[in-house]
Structure formats: structure tokens, C-alpha cells
Amino acid sequence: MRRWQRAREGGLRGLFFLCALVSIAVTMGIILVLFGESLPFFRHVPFTSFLFERSWAPRTGQEYGILPLVCGTFLIAVLALAVAIPIGLATAIYMSEYAAPVVRQVAKPVFEILAGVPTVVYGYFALTFITPYLLRPLLPSIEVFNALSAAIVVGIMIIPTISSLCDDALRAVPRSLREAGYAVSATKLEVCTRIVLPGAMSGVVAAVLLALARAVGETMVVAIAAGSTPKITANPLVSVQTMAAYIVQVCKGDAPAGTIEYQSIYAVGLTLFAITLAVNVVAQKVMARFREVYE
Amino acid sequence: MITLAGPSLVRPMGFRPRLARRRLVGRVFAILCLVAGLVAVLVLGALLWHICRQGAELLSVHFLTSYESTLEPLTSGIKAPLWGTIWLMALTTILTVPVGVAAAVYLEEYASQNRLTRFIHLNIANLAGVPSVVYGLLGLTVFVRWCAFGRSVLAGAAALALLVLPVVIIASREGLVAVPKSLREAAYAVGATRWQAIRHHVLPAALPGILTGVILALSRAIGEAAPLIVVGAVAYIRAVPSGLRAPFSAMPIKIFNWSELAAPEFVRLAGAAILVLLGVLLSMNAVAVGIRAWQQRHKTW
């Protein structure tokens, strides 16, 4: 190698390495910004009242308890999972155990489209279709903005996440296990539910956790369809507010920098980031275990 | 020695095979699973039908080429948000693709399996799971305030670029992994340096895969509203961005704004805007599928 060639090789390698480090810089940036910018908020609001007070009204009431936002977030996330787990898992079982290759080929693009629809579109669908045409006839007392419509649509939105990851997990179960089941004259259902599904369980759990993280962080559907009233409730028929939706609501209203309301979005963002990060890390741990088992 | 098994051995302890019943239950289960799969298709159908019913009538050249009208909402167009989105996509591509591909090249072609590399992988996977609204807060602080870009189209694009960076890296890595090792070894065998092998052999072979991944990443960015709202995109503006520092709107922002207004004419306008957005998205997907198909046919390895 000539000298200039060697220099070029080393220089490019260094450049590419710096690009790879950008991702670490982004993570550090997120942590730095969320901690640094929420400091002024926590100088004003004691940490304990942020975590334990039961009312959230930074603009009007000077009440800074995050619980209502966390409650709204998990109300919607849990209901969304209640929609998405049965449908997503059943779809994955059908795709991996029953469907003909042709069906898979047709179904895959459909799910890709479903996963690619922008979240504002889902929000629009929840507000202008699900609530008035589907829920109102069944539950006349439902509010215009309600947690249920948002949860149903978030659930639909995360079906592709669950079904494609579960499909991968089910297919990773070796064929020999299934055949051992058939050899003792188990029916297809018994092979599915007693051999394949338990064998893929860690993959299924990881899929559910990743979907949970997405549902917790989902913003636009909730901002459009679930309203903006932070409250601690388990009633899905009324308006609630989630953490992400609160951030959007404040930013939409152009709260001037320096006010406590503006500072509060960083504290809420920090909480949201911490929760989704924890769920994602656990999901990756579970996923890593499932890879070790069969590969 | 083989003995004929008596009935008590075939059916120990009162076990009854009840095969007919078990098979029936199995068939019911299979049908239920199929129905669950069809739910997704059904919802997609209902979604498209609802949006077409609301918005199809308003679609016209006028809708694409005129600004919003506050006096007569139904004559509004989406010129400003449409051009805002075009600016955002162009800038996001410029900002994110070189860095993303370079990072993927480092991770696949250069990095050795050490603790730092594993940490970078883990970190990218975690970044992909960070809620988009958090990227908005990052952009608001770093680009709008610290870099003093203001609430500009540049700040919005920079936030979107960080948001899709992990997606671009992951997709590009998949494109690079698919290139067989023998291609690299053949290049080294005739005396190519590592960079020459990458530049002339690996990257061209991986290009279709990378391109597909980049298109899919951008189709995620094009529908994002949350980070743009946080960075400070405006819902109502009667101007096309005039430069990097110009205020801007975007398609998802306008759709959000019209959906919120909730009056029937705005629901129809939002529907029409969604149709435009979905049209763009579907054509991006079609291009990606097309590239994939082309690659399958022209693969030389």
C-alpha cells in the first residue's frame, strides 16, 4: 500500500467510526437534555409531590402530580394490548402453522401497509369513525373524546408488531418438536398450543413488551382521540390524557420558554423516556434469551 | 419379543382418545385464528373506505396547488403543508442517509466484536424504541434553542433525521449483511484495499437493499407529526418555505389540525389530505417493492 492509500484507509475508517458514534451521541443528547432541562422544574416542584400527588394542572392549579398522566397512559396501553395480543397472536399462529405460502405472500404486504399508516391517520380514524359509528351506538354515554376509541386504534396499530415478531418466534421452534408431537398422535391444535407456543414463549413475551413500549409512547392517536383531561380513572368511556399527549398539547399552545408549564414537558418527557427505556431493555433481554435457545 | 397389547395397555387409566372431538375443536381454533387475521384486513378496508368517502370529492389539482382559505374552508388547498413536507423529506434524506450508511459500513465492515461494538448495537436498538415525541424535545432544545435554528424547517428536518437514523442504520446493515463474504475476498485476492473492496464491490451489491431500507425509513418520517409539533411546525401558514430558516408546516400537522377542528368540512379536508399522504406513502412502498423485485431478478450472486 502506498502512503497516501494508507492514510486514506485510516481516515475513512475513522470517519465511519465517528458516524457510528453519532448514535451514542444521540442517546447522550436525549439523556442530557431531559435531565438538564427538567432541573429547573424540579427546583420548583419537590420530587416527591411530582411522583405522588394525585392531580396534574401546571397551568391553572399549580398541581404537579404525574400520576394522572401515567394512569391515562397505562389505561390506554393496557386496553390496546387487550385488543392486540389475542388478535396479533392468533394471526401469528395462523400464519406460521396453518397458512399456505400463497396466503403468507398476500398477507405480508397488507400488514406492512397497516404498520406504515401514519399515526395521525389512525387518530383521525378513531375520532371520526370508531367513536361515532362503532362505539356511540353501543355505548350511548361515551364522550366525544374517550380513552376507548384511542385504545382500540392503538391496539390495531400494534397488531403488526406483535404478529410479525410472534410469527418469527413460532417459526424458530424446530420442526422436530412438532413432529415429536404428531408422533404421539397429538392433533394440530395440541401441537400448536402445548408444544410450539410454550417453545416460543420468550419471543412472544418480547413481542408483547415491545408493543407495550410503542403503545406507551404513542402520541398522535391519543392526542387526537383521547382528549386532554388528565385524571386518575379506570373508566375508558371518558376523556383522559397521556404523557406524550400532554407534551404535544403544551407545545401546540406555544407556552413561552421559562414558564413552569414549559419546563414541565421535560419532566414528563423524562418520565416517559424512563418507562419506555425500561420496557425496551427488558424486552431485549428476553429476546436475547429466546435467540440463544434455538440458534 | 412382540406381544399383542391388551386393551388395558392401549387405553391406560381410562384415557379416551376422542379424536373426532379433538379434531373438531382444532378446526374451530384454526377458523378463529383465520378470523383474527382477517380483522386486520377488515380494519384496513374500513379505514380506506371511510377516508375515501370523506375526502375523495375534494381531491383536485386545486387542492394541491392552493393555500388554505379561512373564509371558505372547503376551497382550501394544501400547498403550504405539501411543500413543507417535500422540504422536510429532502433535508432529512441529506442529513441522515450519509451518516446512517457510514455507520452501518463501520459496524458491518470494520468493527471487531468488542464491548464498544456491542454497546453501539444495543444503543441503536434502544434508540429505535424511543418515543418520537422525545426526539421532538431533543430537537426543540438542541436545534431550535442551542443551535439557534429557530422554529424552522431545518430544525424540523434535523429532528426527523435523528428519529430515523437508527432505522436507516439497521436497514443498511441488513443490506450489507446480505452481500456474500466471497465478494469481499475476491476483491482482496486481487489486491484491493478494504475501502476499495467496499467502494467498488460491497456497496454496489448492497445498494438495492440499502435503498429499500432508506425508502422505508423515510416513509416513517413522512407521517410523523409529534416531533414536528414539539419543534414548532405551524398549522396555518400561507407560504412555501423560502429557505432553511423559514417557518414551515407539514402534511401530518395539517391533518392533525383539521381533525381537531372536528367540524364536518374540516373532517372532509383532513380526509382529502390523508388521501394525498397515503398516495405518496403507497408510491414510496411501491418503489421499494419494485427495487426488491429488480434485485431478485438481477442478482449476480
Report CB contact under 8 Å: B229, A273.
Answer: no
Of A245, A234, A239, A295, the closest CA to residue A272 belongs to: A245
Cβ contact A89:A162 at 8 Å: yes
> Which residues are A64's β-sheet partners?
A56
Residue-level pLDDT at A292 = 64
The verdict on A219 touching B (C-beta cutoff 8 Å) is yes
In a domain, B5, yes or no: no
All residue ranges of chain B with pLDDT < 50 are 1, 3-9
Residue-level pLDDT at B170 = 94
Side chain identity at residue A158, one-letter code: I
Report CB contact under 8 Å: B223, A269.
Answer: no
In a domain, B272, yes or no: yes
- What rounded mean pLDDT belongs to chain A? 92
CA distance to partner chain A, nearest, from residue B78 (Å): 16
Supply the DSSP string of A92-127, one letter for each residue.
Answer: HHIIIII--HHHHHHHHHHHHHHHHS-HHHHHHHII
Report CB contact under 8 Å: B103, A20.
Answer: yes
Q: Which of B137, B145, B173, B265 to mutate to test the interface with A (most CBs of A within 10 A)?
A: B137
How big is chain B by its Cα radius of gyration, in Å?
A: 27
266-285 of B, contacting A, C-beta below 8 A: 267, 270-271, 274, 277-278, 281-282, 285
Residue-level pLDDT at B174 = 92
- Please give the backbone phi and psi of residue A64, each rounded to the nearest 5 degrees, phi first: -125, 45
Rounded Cα gap, residues A237 and A233, in angstroms: 10
Classify the complex by whether its ipTM is higher than 0.90, answering yes or no: yes
Of A6, A177, A181, A192, the closest CA to residue A92 belongs to: A192
Domain of residue B291 covers 65-298
Rounded Cα gap, residues A125 and A221, in angstroms: 9
Beta-sheet pairing, A56-57 with A63-64: antiparallel
Helices (H) and strands (E) in chain A, counts: 14, 2
How big is chain A by its Cα radius of gyration, in Å?
A: 23
Q: What is the dihedral of CA B32, B37, B42, B47, to 10 degrees?
A: 140
Residue A57, SS3?
strand
In a domain, B35, yes or no: no
In a domain, B34, yes or no: no
| C-alpha grid cell, residue B96 | 441522515
Q: Residue B86: give its domain's CATH number.
A: 1.10.3720.10
- The total domain count for chain B is 1
Residue-level pLDDT at B184 = 93
User: What are the angstrom distances between the C-alpha of A155 and each of A77, B201, B285?
Assistant: 8, 44, 23
| C-alpha grid cell, residue A180 | 415429536
* DSSP structural state of residue B29: H
H or E segment to which residue B59 belongs: none
Residue-level pLDDT at B11 = 54
Report CB contact under 8 Å: A19, B29.
Answer: no
In a domain, B12, yes or no: no
Rounded Cα gap, residues A111 and A84, in angstroms: 13
The verdict on B52 touching A (C-beta cutoff 8 Å) is no
In a domain, B179, yes or no: yes
Other beta carbons less than 10 A from residue A263's beta carbon: 21
pLDDT 10s digits, A134-152 = 999 999 999 999 999 999 9
In a domain, B212, yes or no: yes
Residue-level pLDDT at A282 = 94
pLDDT 10s digits, A209-258 = 999 999 999 999 999 999 888 999 999 999 999 999 999 999 988 777 77
CA distance to partner chain A, nearest, from residue B44 (Å): 7
Q: Which residues of B touch A272 (CB under 8 A)?
A: 131, 133-134
Cβ contact A247:B136 at 8 Å: yes
> What is the count of residue pairs from A and B with beta carbons less than 8 Å apart?
260
Rounded Cα gap, residues B274 and B142, in angstroms: 31
Residue A231, SS3?
coil
Rounded Cα gap, residues B269 and B215, in angstroms: 27
CA distance to partner chain B, nearest, from residue A165 (Å): 15
pTM score, whole prediction: 0.92
Name every residue whose Cβ is closer than 8 Å to that of residue B149 and which is 6 or more positions away in sequence: B143, B155, B158, B244, B245
In a domain, B44, yes or no: no
The verdict on B192 touching A (C-beta cutoff 8 Å) is no
Residue among B103, B142, B193 whose CB faces A9 most closely: B193
CA distance to partner chain B, nearest, from residue A167 (Å): 12
Q: Is the pLDDT of residue A58 over 80?
A: yes
Q: How many CA atoms lie within 13 A of A243 on its CB side?
A: 32
CA distance to partner chain A, nearest, from residue B68 (Å): 19
Residue-level pLDDT at B261 = 86
Residue-level pLDDT at A212 = 96
Rounded Cα gap, residues A92 and A109, in angstroms: 15
Residue among B30, B106, B289 whose CB faces A19 most closely: B106
